[in-house]
Structure 1
Amino acid sequence: MRANRIIHPGLAEAIASLGHSDLLLVTDAGFPIPRCANRIDLGFTKGVADVRDIMASLLSEVFIEDATFAPELKTHHPKLYREVQAIFTGTGATFSAASHEELCDDYAYRAKFIVRSGSFDPWANFAMTASTDPFAWFDDDDVRILPAYIERREQIRSSAVPDLQL
């Protein structure tokens, strides 16, 4: 048994298979998941499992460099947007925008896996890009660190709050 870790066998296996720049989606209950997708269905009933809980659990095990979602989240559902900001604060992840149509018609087909929640929140669909640990990589004094990793390290150290620029 894995103490204080994700115990869902399909999700734990999918997480273990992630590499740098792989894409994963966490979606609301109504997201149209393609038949060809690696679907991990955690939706049980309305609100269970909640998209916020799923993302927070994933972030305890996976480094994410970017979270992409519909820009309407910020403008039309500000409460959820603030909650998502809180979940991603200090992770070093940036926020990017993509239309709901892009999430459905492009990102869903490129995702390594899609986690469906039981959330009934509008605009609660997130494409997340997996990263590497910016502290574990480039820890040799003889290796020159890339500027993006310097910036992510600083965002983590300073508990930076990500913000979607519209």
Structure 2
Amino acid sequence: MKKAGILNRHLSAALAELGHTDEVLVCDAGMPIPSGPRVVDLAFRAGVPSFAQVLDGLLDELVVEGATAASEVRTANPETAALLADRFPGLTLVSHERLKELSRGARLVVRTGEARPYANVLLRCGVFF
């Protein structure tokens, strides 16, 4: 049994399969999930687990070379906008519609229980060397 890190067996296995340039969508409970990507649904109740908790757990285990979020987050959800700006200084912002289009290319979708709008980010995996 693992003693640290992500304990969810489905999420841990999905992360181990990711490679350079693969994309991971971390999303709130309301984001439409495209057909195709593997989905690990962590949503339990509204707000549980939060977007921030899941994102920080993923960032402890992934090398991320880029991130994209919806520009609407800045006005609709300033707290999440600040979190994303802090975690990703080079964050790319696109329209929410464009983010939904881009998410179709994700290899993995991790759905949180977040119940605030536009708490979504598409991560591009990097390499550790």
TM normalised by structure 2 equals 0.92
Aligned to 1:33: 33
Q: Kindly indicate whether the alpha-carbon contact (under 8 Å) linking 2:27 and 2:121 is maintained by their aligned counterparts in 1.
A: yes
- 1:134-160 alpha-carbon deviations (Å, 9 max, x no partner): xxx2xxxxxxxxxxxxxxxxxxxxxxx
Q: Of the two structures, which has the highest relative contact order with CA contacts closer than 8 Å and spacing of 6 or more?
A: 2
Q: Percent identity?
A: 33
- Matched residue SS, 1:94: coil
CA distance in 1, matches of 2:107, 2:117: 23
Q: Which residue of 1 aligns with 2:97?
A: 101
1:131 to 116, 126, 129: 126
For the residue of structure 2 that corresponds to 1:107, the secondary structure is helix
Verify: 1:54 aligned to 2:50, yes or no.
no
Deviation at residue 75 of structure 1 after TM alignment: 3.4
Deviation digits for residues 66-108 of structure 1 (CA, Å, limit 9, x no counterpart): 110011212332222112334x16xxx620012111222x222
Q: Which moved more, 1:71-80 or 1:23-32?
A: 71-80
- Give TM-score, length-normalised by structure 1: 0.72
1:114 equivalent among 109, 119, 129: 109
Q: Give the C-alpha shift of residue 25 in structure 1.
A: 0.2
CA contact (8 A) 2:28 2:113 kept: yes
**Contact residue 46 and residue 119 of structure 1 kept, 8 A:** yes
Matched residue count? 129
Structure 2 residue identity aligned to 1:124: A
Name the structure 2 match of 1:70. Answer: 70
Query: How big is each residue's C-alpha offset from its partner over 1:36-57, in whole Å with a ceiling of 9 and x where there is no partner?
Result: 3311100010001111111100
Q: Give me the CA root mean square deviation.
A: 1.5
Q: What is the identity, as a one-letter code, of the residue corresponding to 2:70?
A: A
- Structure 1 residue runs of 4+, over 4 Å off? none
The one-letter amino acid paired with 2:52 is: R
Bigger Cα displacement from structure 2, 35-44 vs 24-33 = 35-44
